[in-house]
Amino acid sequence: MYTINRLDWDSDFFGMEVGEISIKNTSKKYLTIDLDGFDWIILKQSTNATIVLDNFKNTFTETKHTFSKNLTGNTAPLASMDIQDSDEQMIAPEQLYDLAYESGKYSRFKLDPNLSVQKFKELYQKWVDNSLNHKFADKVFFIKNKAGILGFVTIKKNPNHASIGLIAVTENSQGKGYGKQLLKKAESYCISEGIQELRIPTQKENAMACQFYNKNNYHISEELILKHYWKIQQ
């Protein structure tokens, strides 16, 4: 028996009824669930089995990889660059918006053809806003020079681990070590807070990010298939 949960935040933000179904393992191809009243279904699977939902069409699929690293016993890695804390050096949210879009270029919210570019940008703007005001993150670190902000990272503490929500470097600054320095700063912060594990979700399709985390001794701790189903308009 599978149930659907209404995603309240998503429904309010997108202005439609959004539901979520989670499936670990199933041999069923057709799921009989009452989807009346929903416009958009997000299906989460541990394996990529073909699923059919009556009156809904699958428009987009992505594979989410969660990378993790055990920080137990590590000494705090020191960043060689001057990395600033948004709690000590205030910045306007608008200064991070373009970087946030860069971090989400492989996101399902950008690549699903049923979602507009404008809505994608609004979502990531809100993510930045709520990271700086500590609703979505506990810390925001950034690298800045005379030309502006070159990169940033957001960190959220959880009971048994911390997670990176957004991490990005400007396109012109990539390949120069800024991402590694931001990652070191995040690890240093976690160690100083007594946190023993740092997790970073990204898309399998984002090969550059996956290679970057592998090179920095992170391993895949979870793989999740996410599918978007939209109600077929009669």
Position 191 confidence tier, pLDDT thresholds 50, 70, 90: very high
Q: Which helix (H) or strand (E) holds 16?
A: none
**Cβ-based neighbours of 43, under 8 Å, separated by 6 or more:** 20, 21, 23, 51, 53, 226, 227, 228, 229
Classify residue 126 by its DSSP letter.
H
pLDDT digits (tens, 9 = 90+) for 45-66: 988 888 889 899 999 999 999 9
- 19 beta partners: 6, 41
Distance CA 168, CA 179 (A): 7
Q: To which CATH superfamily is domain 67-221 assigned?
A: Gcn5-related N-acetyltransferase (GNAT) (3.40.630.30)
Say if residue 29's pLDDT is above 90.
no
Distance CA 155, CA 190 (A): 9
Q: Which two tokens stand for residue 140?
A: 């925001």
CA atoms within 13 A on the CB side of 17: 9
The average pLDDT across 180-207 equals 94
Distance CA 224, CA 44 (A): 7
Of 35-39, 85-89, 97-101, 175-179, the poorest mean pLDDT is in 175-179
Q: Where are the domains of the chain?
A: 5-54, 67-221
The average pLDDT across 187-203 equals 94
- Chain centroid offset of residue 217 CA: 19
